[in-house]
């Protein structure tokens, strides 16, 4: 219908146009001989009313007259031109109205379509803005939990210094033991193992702390990217919502010449969504790594605390066993010392008795010697080797033999007395060493290890 209406408007009317007779119309008279002016023409002044030159006026009247037919043809031409121009103007008016209506419809449709696409874009940006905000909130919570784990690791590393210092100080105190008590016993082995275990666990915790710090840096990088993307999307969302609310009657509308030729866009619709998705996926990946790291940190803390407690308990048990051994040895030494002391006392009594016995034997031998010497003064044949003489000699020999035996026994007893004195001295010295070692282990070392020096961070 529109096309037929357009054809009807575009219909033209055929009008016959008759050309006028060609005449040379000029206000300049020509000479009959050569066609050149013989005198310049003076036009009448219609304003001042000067008189026309009669000669020139006659010549001009000859050349400026039209015929009636020409006059009618000219009027017909004007009529035809007027009709043609009116039809053309009507067609142009109708075309202009149609173009205006079409332009209005297309512009209105374009605005509606742009508004609809702006609404869709606002929905898309709002969706990704909400997703990024939710992911940012979850990431911040994970960063806080990981930060708590970092603080826990730092406290654990610091808490290990307590038992490590105590174990080293215990070794230092036990180095003060003297002579034979400076034994590489089970307690010392347990202390060395405890120190090595504490240092190894401290290194493990420090390595885990380094991983935690690296993961915190990665999480903060993802957080920074999320925050930047969130700010950008909020800014873009504000601009798009402002654009969505604009209409033809809004304030602040301006012309920006050539703005449609400027291409500032950095991404396409698909790549824009993929970039937001990549940002969220990176954050999710960092959160998963952080969660796994926190789980490993908790397991490591539990393992380290159990190992520290086991080594602490093992050392305390070895120390208690060693203390009981020292106490038992001390008690036995005291018992032996008492027996040796009693034996020394008995030996000394026997020595006195033997000295008295030897002294008593001197009287008997004196009697025998005196008898034998007195009988040496018998006269002549009375100086007989009789049974008395034999008996005296036998008595003197027996007394000498017994005195020799008593001296020998005395010498052995005196030697044994010296040995007992040496044994007593050794026992007293060893007892002093035992008492000193027992004091070191029971008072100094056990005094340091009475309370477990790790706070409530380690639970069992």
- The kind and range of the H/E element at 431 are helix 387-439
Torsion of CA 85, 90, 93, 97, to 10 degrees: -160
**88 pLDDT above the threshold of 70:** yes
The whole-angstrom separation of Cα 271 and Cα 248 is: 33
Contact 109, 200 (CB under 8 A): no
**127 pLDDT above the threshold of 90:** yes
pLDDT interval class at 430 (50, 70, 90): confident
Contact 61, 68 (CB under 8 A): no
pLDDT tens per residue, range 343-377: 889 888 888 888 888 888 788 888 888 887 888 88
pTM: 0.65
Q: Which of 210, 142, 161 has the alpha carbon at shortest distance from 457?
A: 161
Write down the mean pLDDT value for the chain.
80
* Two structure tokens written together for 55: 């000669």
Q: Which of 442, 434, 178 has the alpha carbon at shortest distance from 328?
A: 434
- The kind and range of the H/E element at 349 are helix 269-375
Rg (CA), the chain: 69
The whole-angstrom separation of Cα 140 and Cα 138 is: 5
Lookup result for tokens 């023409």:
41
Instruction: Please count the other Cβ atoms lying within 10 Å of the Cβ belonging to residue 282.
Output: 17
Identify the three-state secondary structure at position 188. Answer: helix
Backbone φ/ψ region at 24: left (φ over 0), alpha (ψ -120 to 50), beta: beta
Burial class, 241, CB count within 10 angstroms (exposed 0-12 / middle 13-18 / buried 19+): middle
pLDDT interval class at 285 (50, 70, 90): very high
Output the pLDDT for position 137: 94
* Length of the chain (residues): 460
Instruction: Please count the other Cβ atoms lying within 10 Å of the Cβ belonging to residue 116.
Output: 11
């Amino acid at each position: 219908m529109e096309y037929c209406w357009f054809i009807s408007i575009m219909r033209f009317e055929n009008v016959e146009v008759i050309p006028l007779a060609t005449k040379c119309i000029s206000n300049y008279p020509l000479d009959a001989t050569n066609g050149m002016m013989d005198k310049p023409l003076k036009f009448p002044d219609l304003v001042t009313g000067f008189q026309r030159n009669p000669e020139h006026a006659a010549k001009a009247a000859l050349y400026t007259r039209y015929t009636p037919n020409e006059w009618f043809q000219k009027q017909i031409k004007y009529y035809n031109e007027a009709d043609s121009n009116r039809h053309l103007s009507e067609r142009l008016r109708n075309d202009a109205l149609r173009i205006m209506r079409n332009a209005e419809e297309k512009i209105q449709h374009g605005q509606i379509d742009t508004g609809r696409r702006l609404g869709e874009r606002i929905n898309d940006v709002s969706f990704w803005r909400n997703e990024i905000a939710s992911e940012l909130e979850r990431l911040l919570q994970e960063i806080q939990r990981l930060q708590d784990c970092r603080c826990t690791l730092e406290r654990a590393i610091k808490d290990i210094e307590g038992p490590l210092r105590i174990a080293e100080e215990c070794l230092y105190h036990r180095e003060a033991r003297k002579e034979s008590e400076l034994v590489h016993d089970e307690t010392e082995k347990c202390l060395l193992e405890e120190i090595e275990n504490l240092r190894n666990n401290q290194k493990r915790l420090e390595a885990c702390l380094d991983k935690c710090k690296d993961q915190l840096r990665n999480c903060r990088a993802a957080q920074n990217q999320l925050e930047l993307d969130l700010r950008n999307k909020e800014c873009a969302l504000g601009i798009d919502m402002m654009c969505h609310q604009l209409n033809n009657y809004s304030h602040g509308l301006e012309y920006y010449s050539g703005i449609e030729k400027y291409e500032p866009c950095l991404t396409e619709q698909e790549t824009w969504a993929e970039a937001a998705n990549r940002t969220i996926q990176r954050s999710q990946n960092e959160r998963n790594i952080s969660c796994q790291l926190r789980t490993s940190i908790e397991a490591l803390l539990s393992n380290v605390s159990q190992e520290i407690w086991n080594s602490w308990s093992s050392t305390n048990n070895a120390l208690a066993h060693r203390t009981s051994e020292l106490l038992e040895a001390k008690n036995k030494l005291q018992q032996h010392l008492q027996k040796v002391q009693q034996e020394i006392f008995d030996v000394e009594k026997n020595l006195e008795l033997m000295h008295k016995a030897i002294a008593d034997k001197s009287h008997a031998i004196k009697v025998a010697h005196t008898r034998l010497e007195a009988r040496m003064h018998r006269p002549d044949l009375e100086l007989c080797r009789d049974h008395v003489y034999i008996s005296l000699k036998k008595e003197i020999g027996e007394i000498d033999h017994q005195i020799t035996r008593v001296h020998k026994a005395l010498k052995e007893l005196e030697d044994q007395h010296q040995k007992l004195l040496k044994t007593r001295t050794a026992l007293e010295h060893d007892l002093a060493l035992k008492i000193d070692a027992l004091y070191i282990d029971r008072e100094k070392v056990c005094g340091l290890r009475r309370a477990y020096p790790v706070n409530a961070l380690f639970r069992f």
